[in-house]
Amino acid sequence: CVDIAKLPKETGMFTYDPGFTATASCKSAITYIDGDQGVLLYRGYPIEQLAEHSNFLEVAYLLMHGELPTPTEFKAFEDEITHHTMVHESANSVIKGFMHDGHPMAMLISMLGALSGIYHNDLDLDDPEQRRLAAIRLIAKVPTIAAASYRHSIGFPKSYPRNDLDYASRFLTMLREVPSEEFELNPVAAKALDLLLILHADHEQNASTSTVRLVGSTGANPYASVASGVAALWGPAHGGANEAVLKMLKEIGKPENVASAVEKAKNKDSGFRLMGFGHRVYKNYDPRAALVRKMTHDVLAQLNVNDPLLEVAMRLEEAALKDEYFVQRKLYPNVDFYSGLIYKALGIPVEMFTVMFAIGRTPGWVAHWLEQQLDPESKIGRPRQVYTGAVSRDYVPVDKR
Ligand code: ACO
């Protein structure tokens, strides 16, 4: 038996921080959050101002480049994104290999893996132009893949990106158009989607972005790094919460059942949490949730949608915000709480909700990956552990066990 005190001593300070609640893994100039005040800035610009005045592609440019584009820069950026919306036909067989009820997040992860195979051999990560092009391709192609995944799940043929449309309109058209029928796009729906994408575009070192950075720190292919970010996003504690919120609201069903849902969420043994509530960083109202909340009312009214689940959501928020359990723990609605109701009003099926989050978050992922590639202090991410297992012991032959 080895005396643990005689094992080699670690050098330097060693911290134990499960969930990285107090450990900065990098320096970043992209997004600032003040969780106590409910402040969110992209490159210094308040999210409220970007939501009111900007558009998703301009925000994508801002995240990647650090500054808002001039009209000429924006036009060139938009043209380049539009130019790269097509996905190589050989990758489509990956989607075709899925059962029709395969989850679209699984298809997105696999398709990004396939792109890492397509854009691999000649990819020189030391070349800034090639890095930039990878980022552009990812922002351009993720909606095309997302739409193809959904269409596969309903047995529709793949549709091609309409490059005469803006980013959000193009995605909605690809998703919803029916073969041999004229598709009429509702501009209110496109505007609402664009706004939701802005609100999801970045959120500093969240689980999926940290995953992209961790994988990126090994020098891995950027498409593979983003595929791993999509996988991290899928969990219900992260981006999967928007799908879980809608399922929860449906289960609650009517305002009369809200009180018992709140009681259940307070009981740790129930294994039930209020989905769309709570956040690691925000200990105040999530500023994105405040914007989505207002938007939900506006969009549903403009689209003439009367969704009884909105009433359930409002009563649930009201009840939780008055409850001592939620007040004490500073649990407020997060961005996912209301977003599902808007997606639903836009005719986007619930299995696609987390994919929608992934489309929005792609500029954030690639901006962080690009920033990391330029960071002279960046090194391979390699957390340590506090070992709790057996100390060194001798192998026991099978007949002696
Ligand atoms: N419902 C009920 N209780 C909750 C909830 C909730 N939604 N969220 C946290 N709590 C409780 C915990 O049980 C814990 O209570 P305790 O101190 O008595 O043990 C306390 O609040 C703190 O919760 P933690 O899980 O320690 O907080 P953490 O920062 O680790 O987790 C998280 C944050 C994962 C977002 C959590 O609040 C949660 O699970 N929320 C529901 C899922 C969700 O909405 N996720 C989306 C996050 S935002 C995003 O990714 C876009």
Q: How far apart are CA 151 and CA 139, in angstroms?
A: 20
Q: Is 277 in the pocket of ligand 1 (CB under 6 A)?
A: yes
| Residue 265 confidence class, pLDDT cut points 50, 70, 90 | very high
Residue 4, pLDDT above cutoff 70: no
Q: How far apart are CA 130 and CA 80, in angstroms?
A: 14
Q: Is 232 in the pocket of ligand 1 (CB under 6 A)?
A: no
Give tens-digit pLDDT for 102-146: 999 999 999 999 999 999 877 899 999 999 999 999 999 999 999
Q: Is 245 in the pocket of ligand 1 (CB under 6 A)?
A: no
Residue 66, pLDDT above cutoff 80: yes
Residue 2, pLDDT above cutoff 90: no
Distances (CA, A) of 105 to 125, 198, 234, 340: 27, 20, 7, 16
Give tens-digit pLDDT for 308-360: 999 999 999 999 999 999 999 999 999 999 999 999 999 999 999 999 999 99
Residue 153, pLDDT above cutoff 80: yes
Residue 7, pLDDT above cutoff 60: no
Residue 295, pLDDT above cutoff 60: yes
Residue 5, pLDDT above cutoff 70: no
Segment 374-387 mean pLDDT: 94
Range in 63-67, 86-90, 121-125, 151-155 the model is least confident about: 121-125
The interface pTM score, or ipTM, of the predicted complex is 0.96
How much is the pLDDT for 14? 81
Give tens-digit pLDDT for 268-293: 999 999 999 999 999 999 999 999 99
Q: What is the pTM of this model?
A: 0.93
Q: How far apart are CA 360 and CA 315, in angstroms?
A: 28
Percent of the chain with pLDDT over 90: 88
How much is the pLDDT for 12? 60
Whether residue 361 contacts residue 56, with contact meaning beta carbons closer than 8 Å, is answered with: no
How much is the pLDDT for 9? 58
| Residues that are catalytic | 279, 336
Q: Which of 329, 357, 365 to mutate to test the pocket of ligand 1 (most atoms within 8 A of CB)?
A: 329
Whether residue 85 contacts residue 144, with contact meaning beta carbons closer than 8 Å, is answered with: yes
How much is the pLDDT for 11? 53
How much is the pLDDT for 177? 86
How much is the pLDDT for 121? 75
How much is the pLDDT for 181? 79
Q: Chain-wide mean pLDDT for the chain?
A: 93
How much is the pLDDT for 178? 84
Q: Is 62 in the pocket of ligand 1 (CB under 6 A)?
A: no
Interaxial angle between packed helices 89-96 and 104-118, expressed in degrees from 0 to 180 and rounded to the nearest 10? 150
| Residue 10 confidence class, pLDDT cut points 50, 70, 90 | low
Give tens-digit pLDDT for 157-201: 889 999 999 999 999 999 988 877 788 889 999 999 999 999 999
| Residue 57 confidence class, pLDDT cut points 50, 70, 90 | very high
Give tens-digit pLDDT for 216-260: 999 999 999 999 999 999 999 999 999 899 999 999 999 999 999
Give the total residue count for the chain.
401
Whether residue 40 contacts residue 53, with contact meaning beta carbons closer than 8 Å, is answered with: no
Interaxial angle between packed helices 187-200 and 167-176, expressed in degrees from 0 to 180 and rounded to the nearest 10? 110
Task: Reduce the DSSP state of residue 333 to 3 states and report it.
Answer: strand
DSSP 323: S
Nearest CA to ligand 1 atom 44: 276
Atom of ligand 1 nearest to the CA of 329: 21
The conformational region for residue 272 under phi > 0 = left, psi -120 to 50 = alpha, else beta, is beta
Q: Which of 47, 334, 353 to mutate to test the pocket of ligand 1 (most atoms within 8 A of CB)?
A: 334
How much is the pLDDT for 1? 52
Percent of the chain with pLDDT over 70: 97
